[in-house]
Amino acid sequence: MKPIKHLLPIFLSCCFLFLGCGSESNSSDESGSTKEVVLGKITLDNAWARPGSQQGKSAAYLRISNGTASTDTLLSFSSEAAEKIELHESIEHDDGTISMQPAGQQVIPSGEKLRLQPGGLHLMLINLKRDIAVGDSLKLSLKFARVGTITATTPVQIQN
Amino acid sequence: MSSTLKSLLVSLFIIAGLTACGPDALYDLSGDTYQLRDSDSTLVNFPGDFKGDISLVTFIYTNCPDVCPVITANMTNIQRKLDDTTGVNFIEITFDPERDTPSVLKEYRNLYGLNEQFTMLTSHPRDSDTLLNKLDIVAEKTIIDSLGYDSTNYAMRHSNTLYLMDREGYIRAEYPAHRVKPEHVKDDINYLRSE
């Protein structure tokens, strides 16, 4: 236990220094220079996209985990492989029919996950710039209100 | 006449009556013919060209990037689940014939690596409606203004149905296409095989 006791003051000092950097948002000091701020991480995993033909459509899925201390909001999306990306949601109605509609901005509370998965929320890739076939990959960029843009390399595969 | 003989005659009468009614069917396509085209543009008489085999029949449109590929994936899962796929057809009929031409369906089947047991079918929109109506398949265009959708760029509200058709063209079972368990369908196919 002795070594831990020695390290504790150093650890607390570090925490104090970080807290002294101010709020969690990116900010500038009085001289105008930008200081690096550690916000925690939003991580993207389990990303994959369906195959599609040039000028056609595809869908992409992933899991977004908000590991920051605050709520964040998913604002927009882009990819080098598609002219446009929209967040859509498939809905099963009481009569058994299914339709798709645009989904609004998604707010992800601290510590929560947002799952984009088949039959639910998904990123719809519109007007593909190239054929994307099984085995290819594409880059998906997701822009969040607080942490900014995060990019994920997304394999193209067929759902099993 | 003994009571045993009477019972036997009554039983035979009941069995004869049931047989005359044919199998329990949700829909009877046995006497129908719908002229459709496959992904090679070959004319297909549905269901006549599939008689003698058991067929799984579902409905999709290729501009549907989320749920319809799930339906297709479930069809391939059912195919994989079967110990023997001999005499089983996997048929996907588009409910969007305006955009899903044979060449578009061919692209779709290539993208998803569907083998020769899969048949993708389209038709003239007028003929498509006749078949869809007969099978109570709903397919309505949904135009979302905020997305700039118009008469040529639209989504659809559609049924999520998978039918099991027997060798004579009777629809014998229906399932929710994108989430039915393959084991469930496999059991029903084996039941039809045993008839």
Q: How far apart are CA B195 and CA A55, in angstroms?
A: 47
| In a domain? residue B9 | no
Pairing of strands B139-142, B118-122: unpaired
Flag whether pLDDT at B6 surpasses 70: no
Give the mean model confidence (pLDDT) for residues B37-41.
97
Q: How far apart are CA A66 and CA A112, in angstroms?
A: 6
Q: State in Å, rounded, how far the first CA of chain A is from the last one.
A: 51
| In a domain? residue B125 | yes
B12 touches chain A (CB under 8 A): no
Backbone angles phi, psi at A96, to 5 degrees: 90, -10
pLDDT of residue A29: 43
Question: Mind listing the pLDDT tens digit for each residue in A1-58?
Answer: 444 455 545 444 444 334 333 333 343 344 456 666 666 799 999 999 999 999 999 9
- Distance from the A111 Cα atom to the nearest Cα atom in chain B, whole angstroms: 27
pLDDT of residue B127: 79
Flag whether pLDDT at B148 surpasses 70: no
A50 touches chain B (CB under 8 A): yes
In percent, the amount of chain B with pLDDT more than 90 equals: 76
What domain range is B58 assigned to?
Answer: 25-194
pLDDT of residue A99: 95
The verdict on a CB contact (< 8 Å) between A102 and B138 is no
A141 touches chain B (CB under 8 A): no
Which one of B58, B62, B66 makes the best mutation probe of the A interface by having the most chain A beta carbons within 10 Å?
B66
- Distance from the A74 Cα atom to the nearest Cα atom in chain B, whole angstroms: 19
Residues of B in contact with A93 (CB under 8 A): 157
Residues of B in contact with A50 (CB under 8 A): 65, 69
Between chain A and chain B, how many beta carbons pairs sit less than 8 Å apart?
A: 79
pLDDT of residue A39: 63
Name the burial class of residue B72, with classes exposed (0-12), middle (13-18) and buried (19+) by CB atoms within 10 angstroms of its CB.
buried
Backbone angles phi, psi at B131, to 5 degrees: -70, -45
Number of domains, chain B: 1
pLDDT of residue A127: 92
pLDDT band at B103 (very low <50, low <70, confident <90, very high): very high
Residue A3: cis peptide before it, omega within 30 degrees of 0? no
- Distance from the B182 Cα atom to the nearest Cα atom in chain A, whole angstroms: 12
CA distances (Å), B163 to each of A57, A160, B127, B160, B181, in order? 27, 21, 19, 10, 14
* SS3 state at B187: helix
User: What is the pTM assigned to this prediction?
Assistant: 0.80
Question: Mind listing the pLDDT tens digit for each residue in A105-155?
Answer: 999 999 999 999 999 999 999 999 999 999 999 999 999 999 999 999 999
Buried b (16+ CB within 10 A) or exposed e, A124-149: bbbebeebbeeeebbebebebebbee
Q: Share the mean pLDDT of chain B.
A: 88
Q: How far apart are CA A132 and CA B189, in angstroms?
A: 35
The verdict on a CB contact (< 8 Å) between B77 and A160 is yes
- Which of the residue ranges B25-39, B80-94, B149-163 would you say has the lowest mean pLDDT? B149-163
| In a domain? residue B35 | yes
pLDDT band at B101 (very low <50, low <70, confident <90, very high): very high
Of all helices (H) and strands (E), which one includes residue A126? strand A121-128
Flag whether pLDDT at B180 surpasses 90: yes
The verdict on a CB contact (< 8 Å) between B67 and A119 is yes
Flag whether pLDDT at B4 surpasses 60: no
pLDDT band at B11 (very low <50, low <70, confident <90, very high): very low
| In a domain? residue B66 | yes
Please report the ipTM that was assigned to this predicted complex: 0.80
B178 touches chain A (CB under 8 A): yes
Q: What is the CATH number of the domain that holds B167?
A: 3.40.30.10
